[in-house]
Amino acid sequence: MKTNKTTKAKSFKCKRCGRCCLKYGNMLQASEKESKMWKRQGRQDILSRTKTIKVGNGLVVGYDLWYDPRTDKNVSRCPFLRKAKNKPIYTCTIHDIKPKACKNYPVTKSQAIKVSCRGYGD
C-alpha cells in the first residue's frame, strides 16, 4: 500500500516494540494546548520533564520533550516507556494523554524503517 509523506499507511499496526520511543522519544515537542491540558490535569510528572521553547519576543512556540527534572538535561529516551517483565513489548505509561507527536510517530514507513519499527510487518 502506498502512502503519502504525511499520512501513516493503513497497514501500520503498532507492535509495542518500543523502538521509536527508545530512539526518538527525546527528540519531540509538545504544543501549548497539550501543556495547558497537562496543567489542568495536574500532571506535574509530565510538565517537570518539558522545557518551554520561546522565540525572541518571549512568545511560547512549544515545549521540548523529555528532560530529567533533577539534572535539567535532556534524557536519551522517553521516561514514560516501560518494558513488560520477561516480554519484548513496551507500554507507554501516559498513553491516553501523550503528545500528538508521540501518537503520530512514525508517520511514514521510511521513518519506521529508520528505527527498525515492526509496525509495517517483519
Q: What is the pLDDT along the chain (122 residues), one digit of tens a residue?
A: 344 444 556 678 889 999 888 887 777 899 999 999 999 999 999 999 999 999 888 898 899 999 999 999 999 889 999 999 999 999 999 999 999 988 888 888 888 888 888 888 75
**Residue 85, pLDDT score:** 94
Predicted TM-score (pTM) of this structure: 0.82
Lay out the sheet containing 50-54: strands in order across.
29-30, 60-65, 50-54
How is the chain split into domains, by residue range?
19-114
**Residue 89, pLDDT score:** 93
**Residue 9, pLDDT score:** 61
